[in-house]
Amino acid sequence: MALTADQILAAQKANLETLFGLTTKAFEGVEKLVELNVTASKAAMSEVAGTAQAVLSVKDAQELLALQASLFQPLAEKTAAYSRHLYDIAQGTGAEFGKAFEAKAAEAQQNFVGMVDSAAKNAPAGSETAVAVMKSAVAAANNAFESVQKAVKQASDVAEANFNAVSTTAVNAAKSTAQTASRKR
């Protein structure tokens, strides 16, 4: 099965469209990241000003410790929320790249299977065993690829669950610490 100039041109055009689409998605991810960081920076600046005012109005060490304890829990929650937004941006952008890769891989698999089928139809007499071996190898490769995709998906799900668990644990630890500190006052 020989490729024609039109087929090659169409494949190149499709690859360029995919490249530009992925580049656009990458820039969207960067824009979201910049927006998140600008928002977080503005909020941090505002909070620093408020905290500085609160520290300047403290009358004794006990009040300073209480102020410090009251700031710890919100800081942990904000850090967890920032991390969650960051993770969501990275995961969303990565998912777009994954979808594009899967689509291109499926297309390549179909083209390869088509080439193998075409070669099998045009194979000389007596080569049935070689054709059967080739088809078996293609089927095994497809199965392996699907297994890898499933494993990557499972690993991604486990990573997300672990991230959520760590985030929840950090926020709960901050709450516990803040409650303990407020009881010692």
Q: Which two tokens stand for residue 63?
A: 């009040």
Inform me whether the pLDDT recorded for 180 exceeds 70.
no
pLDDT computed for residue 162 by the predictor: 79
Sign of CA dihedral 115, 117, 120, 122: negative
For the chain, what are the domain ranges? 5-183
pLDDT computed for residue 53 by the predictor: 92
pLDDT computed for residue 182 by the predictor: 60
Inter-residue contact 33 to 105 (CB < 8 Å): no
Highest mean pLDDT among 19-28, 133-142, 164-173: 19-28
Average of per-residue pLDDT across 32-49? 94
CA dist., res. 93 & res. 21, Å (int):
12
Inform me whether the pLDDT recorded for 152 exceeds 60.
yes
Q: Is the pTM of this model over 0.75?
A: no
Q: What share of the chain is helix, strand, coil (3-state, %, to 5)?
A: 90, 0, 10
Inform me whether the pLDDT recorded for 170 exceeds 80.
no
pLDDT computed for residue 184 by the predictor: 60
Q: Residue 108's closest CA among 60, 65, 67, 141?
A: 141
Residue 110 vs residue 85, higher pLDDT: 85
pLDDT computed for residue 75 by the predictor: 86
Of 6-10, 83-87, 166-170, minimum mean pLDDT range:
166-170
pLDDT computed for residue 113 by the predictor: 77
pLDDT computed for residue 27 by the predictor: 93
Q: DSSP of 64-125, one letter per residue?
A: HHHHHHHHHHHHHHHHHHHHHHHHHHHHHHHHHHHHHHHHHHHHHHHHHHHHHHHHHHTPPT
Inform me whether the pLDDT recorded for 176 exceeds 80.
no
Inform me whether the pLDDT recorded for 31 exceeds 90.
yes
pLDDT computed for residue 160 by the predictor: 78
pLDDT digits (tens, 9 = 90+) for 107-142: 877 877 777 777 777 778 777 787 788 778 878 877
CA dist., res. 176 & res. 168, Å (int):
12
Sign of CA dihedral 71, 74, 78, 80: positive
| Cα 89-95-97 angle, rounded to 5 deg | 105
